[in-house]
């Protein structure tokens, strides 16, 4: 039902998004460094719930709209390519600041940590654009079960993002010290991720596939 190429594509996109500094990473790292690993894990639970909300909302609507309006599909594809190019530039441009040097934040209760993680993810433009513009690129509209494909691929993205974020939460303190002493590795990570995102942006922009009207 879901092609291996689609699975690999979503994994690459998910890794590119989750490893690019943004609101989610800043919030999780800040909580982990200032309030401990437990606070980071609780916050990650809220972030994960935000992913699920986006997954359901996006797929329930897009599985029908893209087939009914092929022009919208093309527009979304180009928007996704442009956003990937933007992320690539942010990763490659000079003067970037490490996400592992966050500002101090006050200690909060587990309920507040969970809620803030949830809200931070819902208000994260990276996640909204990922579900609206990036993951749909890997859905094969020539096959049946378009909705199921979207749910499977979206669930794969959630699994990748939660796994990577959990690793970052558990190792935030050690990573912060490591990168502060070895700026070369920080630059290497940024350049490698920027190159991958740039290649994906070009691939999406040059893709000429269109919806066929089959659901």
Poorest-pLDDT segment among 34-38, 81-85, 210-214: 210-214
The pLDDT of residue 213 is: 45
- Is the predicted pLDDT of residue 215 greater than 50, yes or no? no
pLDDT digits (tens, 9 = 90+) for 158-178: 999 999 999 988 887 677 667
- Is the predicted pLDDT of residue 24 greater than 90, yes or no? no
For residues 83-99, give the mean pLDDT. Answer: 68
For residues 89-117, give the mean pLDDT. Answer: 72
Long-range CB pairs of 63-66, under 8 A, 24+ apart, other chains included: 63/139, 63/146, 63/147, 63/150, 63/215, 64/215, 66/136, 66/139, 66/141, 66/146, 66/211
- Is the predicted pLDDT of residue 95 greater than 80, yes or no? no
Higher pLDDT, 85 or 177: 85
pTM: 0.68
Contact 39, 179 (CB under 8 A): no
Give me the torsion for CA of 34, 36, 42, 45, rounded to 10°.
Answer: 80
Q: Exposed, middle or buried by CB within 10 Å (0-12, 13-18, 19+), for 91?
A: buried
The pLDDT of residue 214 is: 45
- Is the predicted pLDDT of residue 115 greater than 90, yes or no? yes
* Interacting residues of 154 by C-beta distance below 8 A, sequence separation 6+: 54, 55, 58, 59, 131, 135
Q: How confident is the model at residue 121 (pLDDT cuts 50, 70, 90)?
A: confident
- Is the predicted pLDDT of residue 27 greater than 50, yes or no? yes
The pLDDT of residue 156 is: 93
Question: Helices 183-206 and 146-181 meet at what angle, rounded to 10?
Answer: 160
**Most confident of the following: 122-131, 162-171, 192-201:** 162-171
Average pLDDT, the chain: 77
For residues 107-116, give the mean pLDDT. Answer: 89
DSSP-derived 3-state class of residue 104: coil
């Amino acid at each position: 039902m879901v092609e291996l190429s689609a699975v690999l594509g979503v994994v690459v996109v998910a890794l590119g998004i989750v490893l690019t500094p943004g609101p989610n990473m800043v919030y999780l790292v800040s909580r982990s460094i200032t309030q401990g690993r437990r606070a980071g894990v609780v916050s990650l639970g809220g972030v994960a719930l935000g992913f699920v909300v986006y997954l359901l909302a996006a797929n329930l609507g897009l599985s029908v709209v893209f087939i009914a309006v092929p022009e919208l599909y093309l527009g979304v594809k180009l928007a996704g390519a442009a956003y990937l190019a933007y992320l690539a530039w942010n990763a490659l441009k000079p003067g970037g600041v490490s996400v592992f040097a966050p500002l101090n934040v006050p200690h909060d209760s587990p309920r507040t940590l969970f809620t803030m993680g949830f809200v931070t993810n819902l208000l994260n433009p990276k996640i909204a654009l990922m579900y609206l513009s990036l993951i749909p690129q890997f859905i094969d509209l020539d096959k049946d079960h378009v909705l199921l494909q979207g749910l499977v691929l979206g669930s794969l993205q959630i699994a990748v993002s939660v796994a990577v974020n959990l690793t970052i939460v558990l190792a935030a303190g050690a990573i912060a010290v490591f990168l502060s002493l070895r700026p070369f590795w920080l630059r290497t990570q940024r350049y490698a991720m920027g190159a991958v995102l740039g290649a994906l942006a070009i691939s999406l922009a040059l893709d000429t596939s269109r919806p066929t009207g089959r659901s």
